[in-house]
Each structure stands twice: as C-alpha cells, then as structure tokens.
Amino acid sequence: MAQRMRRRMLFAGTLAAAGLISARGAQATQVGKVTIALVLKSLADPFTVAMANSAQNYQKHYSSQLDLTVRGTTTEADTSAQMRILDELIDARMSAIVIAPTDSKALIPVVTRAINAGIIVIAIDNPFDDAAGIPVPFVGPDNRKGARIVGDYLATKLKPGDEVGIIEGISADRNAQQRTAGYKDAMSAAGARIVAIQSGAWEYRNGNEAASRILNAYPRLRALLCGNDNMAMGAVDAVRGARRTGSVYITGYNDIDAIKPLLRKGLVVATMNQFADRQAVFGVDFALKAITENRKQRELSRFIETPLQLVTKDDR
C-alpha cells in the first residue's frame, strides 16, 4: 500500500508541476479501490475525446486503486441518454460520477438522486444551474472571463458601431450563457453593436445554419463570435458560401485540432484553449481525493478554476 501511495504522490506531483492538480491533492489516504464514472457529451467531439483520453491515461497510473468507466452520448444535446447513463451508474453504486452535463437544469433531479445515494458528483466543462441549490462542485474555467478575453482580442479589429453576431451553444447551458455574457461584455466595452444571438447547439451544422441566417439578415455584419470551434467551423463555411470571406471576422472557443488550419489561414482570428485534458484529470483526481479522505458532498469546494489561454494566428 505504501508503494502504491508513493506512486500516486509522484504522479500527482508531476501533474501539479504541469498545472493539472494541486500538490495537496497527492496527500489523500488510500481506503480501497474506488469506482469513478466519467460521463461526457458527444463522443464524436474532439474536445470530449481529449477529456476521455486524458482521464483514461490518468487511470492507468492508478489501476490498483481506481476503476474508471467512461460513458458518453451520441450528440451534444442528448440529455435523455445522460439521464439513462446516470440511472445505470446509480444502480451500479459507483463511488463517484464526474460529469460534463448536456443540460444545466434538466439533469438536476437525477443528480440529486445520485447524491442522496451517497455518490460524490463533480461537474466539469458545464456547471449546474446555481438556482438549483445542489452542492455540485464545478471543475473548469471561468467561461465568462475566457469569452471576454476572446472578445477583447476581436475588438482590436473592430470600430465602434460595427455590427456583430453571437452564435452560442445550447441556450440553457450555463457555459453557453457565460460565454455569451463574456462576449457581450467585450462588445459593449468596444462600442460594437450585437445585432443577433442565435443558438448553434455546439455543433457544426447548427452553427452553419445560424451563421447563414445572421449573414442573410445583416449585410453589414463584421464579426461572428462562436461559443465553440465546431460552430466556428460552420460559420467559416457560411461566410464562404455568402462570398464574404475577409469581411466577416470569426472567433471560436476550445482550440480543437480541426480549428488550427483555419487559424493559420486567418479564417478564424482567435479561439480559447481551456485545456480539456486538465479539466478531466483534475475532475477525476478531485473525486478520488474526496473519497479517499471520506469527505461528504456538502463539504467540497464549489469551484475549482482551471487555466485558460488565448490562441491566435500568431500562436500557430
């Protein structure tokens, strides 16, 4: 047991040096093998894949202490599937569930059942709605701050009075709301006019359709601020189809691999790296620490902030 604990402390120290977890997290006390489930959104999304891969790599270092189950949905908005997954995990009596919720409100009843069953629940990527009053910690970045940083960069290319549109994720999601709020903060400070806000539901096709509607309605539009890179890629194709490439700036969020060529070409001017791997690893490690220290859900910190980094063409 002592040898296993030393290995965990050494690996945790490496993660801490990389900014993944706090060194204090390495001091958890071993109390037996733990079962943790990582519940994600669309397993086809590169951002989700990065989360799953990093968590599985983390588990390999602690295989004698930790069983990790990774589950996900087919699409970004399949809340019914996440509900079914959560019900199954409650029945399986998992030690903890780390979840990137598809919906900040609709999942609250089943999450409450999990907590009442004694399961530790941690949110990553998308926090649960504050009004729900359930004590679910959020491990992730300050989305409003991140979007404000992206918007401030875009503002250096705009003039007061320029028309801009926002393509947000699923409108009920807290992270979508926070990113939209951050974009509004930046555009207000720049004196730009937000003429349209539409949902692209986090996906390429919906983002493409939302961008096309905005472009058709506003021939003088100067920019589209997108809540993630999938929607930004859809916006790029919509702008190209409208023959307005070069006259409409586009921003994204997440810094997935597929956005990098568009950044290099200047088709997307900026995105935000919110380090999906760090969120997943920190979320799982936070849950493991809570269990090994015998902590209750209500005793856990409510917000564990993870890093952000603006990415532009100059960084490629």
Among residues 309, 288, 306, 307, the alpha carbon closest in space to that of 58 is found at 288
Among residues 228, 226, 281, the alpha carbon closest in space to that of 248 is found at 226
DSSP letters, 182-219, are HHHHHHHHHT-EEEEEEE-TTSHHHHHHHHHHHHHH-T
What pLDDT, on a 0 to 100 scale, did the predictor assign at position 112?
96
Q: What is the CA radius of gyration of the chain?
A: 20
Q: Backbone phi, then psi, for 197, in 5-degree steps?
A: -130, 120
Rounded CA-CA distance 146/38 in Å is 24
What pLDDT, on a 0 to 100 scale, did the predictor assign at position 278?
86
* Structural domains in the chain, sorted by start: 2-140+276-306 (3.40.50.2300), 143-273 (3.40.50.2300)
Amino acid at 133: G
E strand segments, 151-308: 163-168, 193-199, 221-226, 249-251, 270-273, 303-305
194-226 in b/e form (b: 16+ CB < 10 A) is bbbbbbbbbbbebbbbbbbebbeebeebbbbbb
| CA 190 vs CA 145, 150, 152, 181, 196: distances in Å | 16, 13, 8, 14, 17
Is residue 16 packed enough to be buried (19+ CB in 10 Å), middle (13-18) or exposed (0-12)? middle
136-160 in b/e form (b: 16+ CB < 10 A) is bbbbbbbbbebbbbbbbbbbeebee
What pLDDT, on a 0 to 100 scale, did the predictor assign at position 316?
62
Mapped onto helix, strand or coil, the DSSP state of residue 128 is coil
What pLDDT, on a 0 to 100 scale, did the predictor assign at position 117?
97
Output helix, strand, coil percentages for the chain, rounded to the nearest 5: 45, 20, 35
Rounded CA-CA distance 37/154 in Å is 38
Output the pTM of the full model: 0.82
> 51 with 309: CB under 8 angstroms?
no
Sign for the CA dihedral angle at 235, 240, 246, 247 comes to negative
Per-residue pLDDT 10s for the chain (316 aa) are: 434 433 443 344 434 433 343 333 333 334 458 999 999 999 988 999 999 999 999 999 989 889 999 999 999 889 999 999 999 999 999 999 999 999 989 999 999 999 999 999 999 999 998 767 789 999 999 999 999 999 999 999 999 999 999 999 999 899 999 999 999 999 999 999 999 999 999 999 999 999 999 999 999 999 999 999 999 999 999 999 999 999 999 999 999 999 999 999 999 999 999 998 889 999 999 999 999 999 999 999 999 999 999 999 887 6
Mapped onto helix, strand or coil, the DSSP state of residue 124 is strand
Rounded CA-CA distance 157/180 in Å is 19
What pLDDT, on a 0 to 100 scale, did the predictor assign at position 32?
59
Sign for the CA dihedral angle at 155, 157, 161, 163 comes to negative
